[in-house]
Amino acid sequence: MESNIYIGLVHHPIYDKRKEVVATAITNFDIHDIARCAKTFGVGGFFIITPLESQVQLADRILRHWREGTGSVYNPTRKESFSLVRVSRTIDEADREIFNLWQTKVKRVATGASPHPKNIDFGFLRNLLKDEKTPFFLLFGTGWGLTQEVKDSSDYILAPIAGKGYNHLSVRSAVAIILDRLLGDRMNSLE
């Protein structure tokens, strides 16, 4: 059965160090680590979102290598996880692709490292996701995170991962932890 949960790795619009809106470059490790997490937790699709044509081509080349090229023979499990990956120019373009599959409005969930007045907690979202008739699109920002506008226009904004006075995880680690909290096997991980 098709999963109703999709993730997007946003390279634009996001902030840089000085809080200016930029487009970041694609990071090879992001694609591998996040695709493997997506496959582990049964996500329906993983969208790499970048408006830059050169980056779209780079992503396509990496995907082809692992899906059809020598990478697919060298490491068949990588091929399996890469089958979930798509490339889109914008968040809206990815959203439309999900809409076309489901024919119903896609609920967007923004994530981030800072608290927001509209934050929902992990337990709340975990329950929401059980509504298998509604597609959910979880957005993760690269660089210094999703813009305020992306957050404000989302249906939900997930609470940050609360660290011990330090909130500077890589986006790869954040995706791993968030997918585990939302979709991971709870029987084995709790007290």
Task: Tell me the closest approach of the beta carbon of residue 105 to its own copies, in angstroms.
Answer: 25
Measured from the CB atom, the residue of 36 and 151 that comes closer to its own copies is 36
What is the binding site for its own copies (CB under 8 A)? 29, 32-33, 36-37, 39-42, 77-78, 80-81, 121-123, 126-127, 159, 161-164, 166-170, 172-177, 180-181, 184-186, 188-191
Residues 6+ apart with CB under 8 A from 21: 12, 13, 14, 15, 147
Task: Tell me the closest approach of the beta carbon of residue 153 to its own copies, in angstroms.
Answer: 24
**Can you tell me whether residue 7 is helix, strand or coil?**
strand
Measured from the CB atom, the residue of 40 and 90 that comes closer to its own copies is 40
Measured from the CB atom, the residue of 99 and 122 that comes closer to its own copies is 122
In this structure, are residues 136 and 21 in contact, taking their beta carbons and an 8 Å threshold? no
Phi-psi region of 186 (alpha: psi -120 to 50; beta: other; left: phi over 0): alpha
In this structure, what DSSP letter does residue 45 have? E
Task: Tell me the closest approach of the beta carbon of residue 51 to its own copies, in angstroms.
Answer: 25
- Residue 161, strand partner residues: none
Question: How many Cβ atoms sit within 10 Å of the Cβ of residue 125?
Answer: 19
For the chain, give the longest Cα–Cα distance. Answer: 48
In this structure, are residues 151 and 111 in contact, taking their beta carbons and an 8 Å threshold? no
**Can you tell me whether residue 138 is helix, strand or coil?**
strand
Measured from the CB atom, the residue of 101 and 177 that comes closer to its own copies is 177
Measured from the CB atom, the residue of 31 and 91 that comes closer to its own copies is 31
Task: Tell me the closest approach of the beta carbon of residue 139 to its own copies, in angstroms.
Answer: 19
Task: Tell me the closest approach of the beta carbon of residue 90 to its own copies, in angstroms.
Answer: 27
